[in-house]
Each structure stands twice: as C-alpha cells, then as structure tokens.
A and B are shown apart, each in its own frame.
Chain A
Amino acid sequence: MNNHLVSSRTFLTISTYLTGYNEVELLGTGMLETYFNVFLEKFSPKTLHYFFAEVDEILLESAGDEDKINAAIAARLIPDSAYDGIAKNIILVWYTGNWGSDVISTQSYQQGLMWDAAEAHPPGAKQPGYGSWANLPIRIPTK
C-alpha cells in the first residue's frame, strides 16, 4: 500500500457503515490498528488498493447521505465477488474478533462487538458484578 495512514482512516470510516457502530465505539475497542494490519496481511496489496479506491469513491459520491452509502455498499462491496470478500470479512472481524475460526488475540476475543450487540459481555471478561444478571443490563446511551 502506498499510504497506510490514509487507508487506516478509510478502514475506520467504512467499518462504521459496515458494522453499524460509530467511530467512538470502534476506537473504544482499541483494535483498529490490529484489525487493519490483519487485512494488510490477508489480502493482496492490489485487491486492497482497489477496495479502498472503491470505498473512497462511494464516500465521495454519496456526500454523507447514509441511504446512498448503504445502497452503494450493498451493490458494490457486499457481494462475495467484490474484492475477495473484504467487506464481509471486516464485519466478521469486528463482531467476532476472529479471522475465520482463529481468535486474532486475547484482546480481540474480549472486544468482539457481538457481545455488545447481545447486551452482554464476553464470557470470562468485563464481568458486570455480583447479581448483575438478575437485573436488566445497564446500557450506556451512545448518541
């Protein structure tokens, strides 16, 4: 890649649209660099280049219109034939902390967004305290 800094920024932006989690939530996992590096390692520089170029184009032409962005993502990034499946893999990595069935790191397991989506916590980490399970989960408003 000719410019990692730019792409890591783009990686974060497209991750928000792909995962449904905002930048603060994603940055709060502390996993951005780790996951970005996973993609640099797993996909060819060429495919990554074309993928991020497509992402830049989608963001530019949609000018912040979320519906337009989502329609473009569905049509141009989500199909399995698009960019070796990078987009779907970005979603899976953020939600599960896994690459395929491999856990990326002890941290990635603990930061999987699927536990947040379930309004729970990763088993064995971020424990909510004695008796917490007898009550409704505490939810911090994100807006």
Chain B
Amino acid sequence: MEKKIKEEFDVVIVGSGIAGSVLAKTLTNAGKNVLLLEAGLQAGMAFDPEAAYQNYQYYLETFYKASAKVPNSPYPNIKDAQSIDVLDIEPITQCNSPSTKGYLVQAGPLPFGSDCLRGPGGTTLHWLGSTPRMLPNDFKMKTLYGQGVDWPISYDDLMPYYEMAENEIGVSGDVRDQVGPDMGIQNYGKDYVFPMKEIPQSYLDQVCIEKTQNLTVKLHGKEYTITCISTPQGRNSIPNPAYKFAGTYWNKKAQKLELAKNDEEYEPVGAIWDPNTGHRCEGNASCVPICPVQAKYNALKTLRKSDPKRLKIITQAVASKIYTDETTNAITGIEYKKYKYENSTVYDTAIARGKIYVLAASAIENAKILLTSGIANSSDQVGRNLMDHLVMLTWGLLPEKAYPYRGPGSTTNIPTFRDGEFRKEHAAWISPIDNWGWSWPVFSPGSDVSSAVSSGMFGKKLREHLNDVLPRQLLLHFECEQTPDPNNRVTIDPQYKDQLDNYRPVIHYDASEYMKKSFEAAKKVSDQIFAANGVEDYTAYSVANDPDYVTYKGQGYNFWGAGHIVGTHRMGTAKENSVVDKNQRTWDHDNLYLVGCGNMPTLGTSNPTLTMTALSFKAAEAILKQLEN
C-alpha cells in the first residue's frame, strides 16, 4: 500500500490553518517548493471562484439548518479527520470516565471545553476575529509574578512580527485606544497604525460605557479604575490612509522578513470567490461560526496568495506518523493516509518528503502526532500544559434597551484586569462586552420564546414581552488566563483510535485554585459593574447549565471554553524544559518545526491567534535562513 511521492520538497507542512497558510505563502513567495498536507475535504480547498462560492454557500446553508449553531456547525465533521464538537462535552462522572462521546477522550476531572476545526482554512473559518496583542509583562510571568514560566523571547523581540501578523490578517482598530495596564502607545511605536480604522463600537457598548468608564471598583482591599476600549479585530473596515505597508517579503540579502512599504492605500482583502465582496463588515452578527461575506479574515485568504507554481496541496491527507533517521535524528518523512471520499474507510498510505518539516495541525493534533511517532519529546513536555481561557460569563438585564444581537460578537473590552500584582494570587482576565445577548450561556432568544410560551403568554403580550426583554440583555465575559500545568495534557492510548487507525486525543484537564480564585474575583467585579449600570443579575451557575462547573469557598461557578487551545509543545530556553526553541524548531530534530498555539509557554489575556501568527512569521524566517545556509 505504501507509496512514495516522487518529488522532494523544500518544506512539507501539515495543516492549512493560519499558521500553515502563513508558512506556505511566505516560503513559496521566497522561492521555496512546498507540499501542504490537509486532512479535510478537497471541496473546502477550492480556489476557482465558482467552486469556492458553491462550497461556502453549502457551509452557510448548513449553518442555517443547524439546530445548535455552535462554532463548528457549518462545517463538515468527517470520520476520517474528526473535529472536536462542543456539543459532545458532558460532565465526567464515576460511571462516565473517560467520556468518549465525541472525538476527544475526556479523562477529566473536568471536560476540556473548547473546539477547533480540522479542515481547509482551519479554525479561522469560525474564529471571532479579536486580535489584541499580548502585553510585555505576559512574557515574564515567572519573573514578575512567580507563575508559569517566562517566554524565551520578549515582547520587543516579537514586535516586528506582530506588525506582519496585523498586516496579514488585516486588523481594524485604533492604536491610540489601546491603553490599559502595561498597555499604551509604547507597545506599538510612535507612528504605528493598524491597516484599517476601528470597527465602530456597538450601541450596546456605548450604553455600558456611559456608566462603566472610569468606574472605581474594589477588589481584595484595592481600588481599580475600570476602562472600556475598542477591540482590534481581523475584519474589514475603512482603510486607514496613514497605513503604509503592503505585505511581508523575504529580504534575501538581509536574511530576514520585512514589511514592504506601500505608497498606495491599503486595500481590504475580499472573499476568496470574489475580491470585491466583503470589503466591509456588513453586520451579519454571525462571525462565529461563519461570516457570509468573508469580511472576516480566514486563512484561505492567505493561502491563496501563495505562489501556485511552488505549492502542491494534497487534501484528504491525514498525517499519521513521522519517521526519523536513527543515527542523525533528522526527520526523513511524514506518513499520511489519503482517504478516498468523505467518511470512507478506504485509504492509501504515502510518505511525504522534504528538507524541512512543519507541523501546523493545531495544538492538540501536533502533540498527538509527536506522541504517536515517539519523537521531539526528550523534555517530556509534549502534550503537557494544555491551556485555554476559562471564560466566566455573567448576564443580566439593563434598565434600558441597548439592542444586542447586532454587529460583530464583541467590539469593546475592559482591559483593567489584564495585568497587575494580583497575578501572584489569581489569574488575570480580559473582559469583552458581548454584543450577542444571552445566546452563549442560555441559548437566547429561542429559550426566551419557549419559556414565555410555556408560561401561557401569547399574542401582543408575548411580542411586547420579548421586545422588552431581548433588547435589554447584557452579557459580559471574563476570559481568565489559565496557567501551565503539566497534568493538563494530551496523551494517547491504543484503546482509542479513529476509523483510519489514527489515535484520538486523550485529555486530562482541571481548573486550579489559581483559576477558581479568579472566578471569585471576576464575579465581584461583575457585581460592581452590574450595580453601577442598574443591571438586574440573571447569572446562574450549575452543572446542568454547563459541564464545566467548579466550587470555590462554597460558591459554584461555571466556565466555558474560549476556543483558545494553547501550550501542548511549549517553546522554552533549553532542551530540558521545552519542546521547541525560540524559532519554534524542535530541540531534538534540526529539520522539524512546530507552529501554532501549542508553542505558547503561557497564554496571556489576549485571544492567541494574532500572537501565534506573529510567531509563524518568525518560524518562516528561521526556516528560510536554514534553507539558505
């Protein structure tokens, strides 16, 4: 059955999400030959306008028809390369351990609450698109706060790559608004602007800001001044005429990646089927799970800009094992299983060969492939330190109508608790103000309709009731930074395999005291914000409401997964403490790089995609240097 591909490539990449696509684009445009393996269906990789449009309309219609409109609901979930589905998350009990309902084998004690998408374009198809940067102090958690580890690089080291990432994604935002603890213009450079102007803050934001901006809240005997700022986002807005960069290119002479200057105005990147569609966010209010006009960035926009003469893409190809040379420890090939059609059990096995290999298959899949192959793990860190933002939600009714369910998911955040001395005691968090009512915690507005109807309400009274309640719904998130814990991990077990005989990830997961204490703190802050705004609190936590339920000092809290799957092959200062070095090359294998959120040693309080994209540019630069020397 085993076949060899005749061609040998400079680089073999596994996965076409944002990390893999940034590499494919950067490397092919620098003249390197790339083979990209993608586990998902061929249909999703269509780039000719008609096929791309048809496929995307199919996603959209699947979303319309989905009874639970969860992040992966528009996209095929095929048995050959299953995705995690949040609908499979259930409490883990004595008679239900591990929980094997979905793709993940959840050993607990708490279920891991996030999903990602295995398919062309990866999770950027359903991501929200918030793109705040990390803070300088986030890179020094051990030194400053005695928590987790320091990164092997500083914020300053990452700054030029952040600019490349913001260019690639097409960030809309106002740099001058990015003020908060350890935040400010100094984090950007004097004249720096984002490619596009800020996405307008919602009417709901404006209602909340009125009584929340500069509000003093008390926490553990200290006073904090709450501020509300606009959130930078990867969705198209009005080009900023002061933005002067075209794109990232390989400066062969200087042996580094640089942003090319551009005298012309930045042009928003449109839909993959039509460059003139999606130049502005149109307010579909469905960023998660699908932007109908592709005004929101997705990785296919990047992949399409690769040099097609130098890129070979093989879809329906699931990477299964990595081979090494026993004497040199170099990677010699990546075995993959190419299945014939959706859900087929028939597949061919082949080996892809190149000079350099890159895993960009998501934090959980990367770790799983490494564990399967028994490689890159001399540190024993592969699969460990799985992290996410633990999202505590609070919800209530505003005294006046603020009209949620409109606009992007979130356009404003409260950065006040992103950094501070309290990080020695409990997790930091960012608080996005949510624009989509109570849809996340209690499935509004459908649940409001059914409970009103059950109570016997009908007719004009029902219509008036819904019109009174729904426009007053307020939801706040508290995205708490999970710290690395070696016992929160991905493992494999021969008992649990998928239909292509590949391992299913086994997850061990829990929330530490440090996290629980942050729920208590965040709830105290939420209570004060609600009080100042005259919000009637409807927050209710229970295991029936959400399987991730914990108690702290006698109080129960729910947290939800943020979809920020991070930390399973950490970057570090030495071979002994980490899987990859600061260039994201594995310490154990000179020609194997890992990219994606798995590299992040700690999470910070920002949505990780922007930082991961910046790191992917850094990896691309290191790979180009290695190929040319």
Contact = CB atoms under 8 A, between A and B. Distances in A.
Nearest to A103: B65
Nearest to B238: A130
Given A123-B286, A124-B284, A136-B403, A78 B67 contact: no
A103 B67 contact: yes
Given A98-B67, A121-B406, A92 B456 contact: no
B470 A117 contact: yes
B458 A91 contact: yes
A127 B284 CA distance: 5
Contacts of A41: none
Given A120-B285, A125-B284, A129-B283, A18 B404 contact: no
Closest 4 CB pairs of A and B: A133-B407, A20-B463, A120-B405, A124-B286
Nearest to A106: B64
Interface in A51-108: 70, 73-74, 78, 87-88, 91-92, 95-96, 98, 101-103, 105-106
A5 interface: no
Interface string B86-115: 000000000000000000000000000000
A119 interface: yes
Most chain B CB within a 10 A radius of its CB, from A17, A70, A119: A119
B344 interface: no
Nearest to B465: A117
B532 interface: no
A102 B458 contact: no
Contacts of A137: 403, 406
B445 interface: yes
B290 interface: yes
B292 A109 contact: no
A115 B446 contact: no
Contacts of A3: none
A2 interface: no
Contact of A19 (B201, B456, B462): B462
Interface string B267-283: 00000000000001111
17 contacts: A17-B459, A19-B462, A78-B458, A91-B449, A96-B446, A103-B65, A106-B65, A115-B445, A117-B467, A120-B285, A120-B470, A124-B286, A125-B64, A130-B283, A131-B283, A133-B285, A133-B406
A123 B470 contact: no
A110 interface: yes
A114 B284 contact: no
Contacts of B462: 19-20, 91
A134 B459 contact: no
B406 A132 contact: yes
A124 to B, nearest CB: 4
Interface in B444-475: 445-446, 448-450, 453-454, 456, 458-464, 466-467, 470-471
A45 interface: no
A102 to B, nearest CB: 6
Given A19-B463, A95-B449, A114-B466, A123 B69 contact: yes
A19 B445 CA distance: 15
B292 A124 contact: yes
Interface string A25-47: 00000000000000000000000
Contact of B449 (A92, A106, A125): A92
Interface of A: 17-21, 70, 73-74, 78, 87-88, 91-92, 95-96, 98, 101-103, 105-106, 109-110, 113-115, 117-121, 123-125, 127-137
Interface of B: 60-61, 63-69, 200-203, 206, 237, 280-286, 290, 292-293, 401, 403-408, 411, 435-437, 445-446, 448-450, 453-454, 456, 458-464, 466-467, 470-471
Nearest to A16: B459
A123 B405 contact: yes
B405 A132 contact: no
Given A120-B406, A123-B405, A133 B64 contact: no
A119 B408 CA distance: 16
Most chain A CB within a 10 A radius of its CB, from B290, B454, B456, B466: B466
Given A19-B459, A119-B403, A125-B292, A101 B67 contact: yes
B459 A96 contact: no
Nearest to A113: B463
Given A109-B64, A123-B284, A125-B284, A134 B201 contact: yes
Contacts of B446: 96, 98, 114
Nearest to A132: B283
B395 to A, nearest CB: 15
B459 A18 contact: yes
Nearest to A105: B65
Contacts of B64: 103, 106, 109-110, 124-125
A95 B447 CA distance: 11
A101 B293 CA distance: 27
Contacts of B401: 119
Given A118-B405, A120-B403, A120-B404, A73 B459 contact: yes
A125 B66 CA distance: 14
Contacts of B206: 134
A92 B203 contact: no
A8 to B, nearest CB: 20
A127 to B, nearest CB: 4
Contacts of A113: 463
B291 to A, nearest CB: 8
A87 B466 contact: no
Contacts of B237: 130
B455 to A, nearest CB: 10
B459 A20 contact: yes
A117 B463 contact: yes
A137 B402 CA distance: 10
B283 A114 contact: no
B458 A87 contact: yes
A115 B405 contact: yes
Contacts of B467: 117-119
B292 A92 contact: no
B341 to A, nearest CB: 25
A74 B470 CA distance: 24
A66 to B, nearest CB: 9
A133 B463 CA distance: 22
Nearest to A124: B286
Contact of B65 (A73, A109, A121): A109
Contacts of A18: 458-459
